[in-house]
Structures are given as C-alpha cells and as structure tokens.
C-alpha cells in the first residue's frame, strides 16, 4: 500500500492530470518492449471509470445528507431518493470496474517481475 507521501504530488494536480501522470510513469516503468500498451490503456480506462462512478455514489450520500439537514424536506422527498435504483446500479458497476482494475494490476505486476 502506498503511503501518504506517494500521493502528495497528485493531490496538488487535478484528477485528470494525476491519472495522465500516473499512466505516463507506468509506461516509462514498463521494462520490456513486449509489454502490451493496450493493457495500460485498459487500466487507465478502469481507473477513470472507477473514480467517476465512486463520485456518483458519493453524490448519492451527499443528496441524502442534504435532504436530512434541510428543514423543508418532506417524507416524499426521502421516498423519491430511496426509490431511485441508480445508486445500486452504480455500486454494481463499481464492483465490476474494481475487479477489472485489480486483475489488470496483477497482470502488470506479473509482467514486470516485481
């Protein structure tokens, strides 16, 4: 697991810049010419998708909190939010993306030999 110092530089840049920098670093670290660059592209896609989907799940919790602290919230507002299946779909998708990302990381680790 990375420590906090490994992420300090990325915190200062935006998410897109951080992802781009991480992928560039990964490409530079690939030791063999036979390494598949498509695998890194897929990892990048998974990383973007996972972060975007996690943001959408987080937005659901923000919506819940906003409703709960609003004194004008009606019971119907809570029911409408609770009945929306979108967050469950996002969680299902997030599980798929996380599994893909984990698999790709393992493949890259196996190919790098470290």
Domain ranges across the chain: 4-112
Q: How far apart are CA 19 and CA 45, in angstroms?
A: 10
What is the distance between the terminal CA atoms of the chain, rounded to a whole angstrom? 14
Separation CA 102–CA 47 (nearest Å): 10
What are the pLDDT digits (tens) for 55-89? 999 999 999 999 999 999 999 999 999 999 999 99
**What is the chain's mean pLDDT, rounded?**
85
Cβ(52)–Cβ(94) under 8 Å? no
């Amino acid at each position: 697991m990375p420590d906090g110092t490994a992420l300090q530089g990325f915190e200062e840049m935006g998410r897109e810049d951080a992802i781009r920098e991480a992928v560039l670093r990964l490409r530079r670290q690939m030791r063999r010419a036979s390494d598949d660059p498509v695998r890194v592209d897929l990892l990048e896609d998974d990383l973007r998708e996972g972060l975007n989907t996690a943001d959408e799940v987080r937005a659901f919790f923000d919506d819940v909190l906003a409703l709960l602290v609003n004194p004008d919230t009606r019971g119907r507002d809570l029911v409408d939010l609770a009945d929306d299946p979108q967050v469950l779909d996002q969680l299902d998708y997030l599980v798929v993306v996380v599994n893909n990302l984990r698999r790709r990381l393992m493949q890259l680790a196996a190919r790098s030999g470290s």
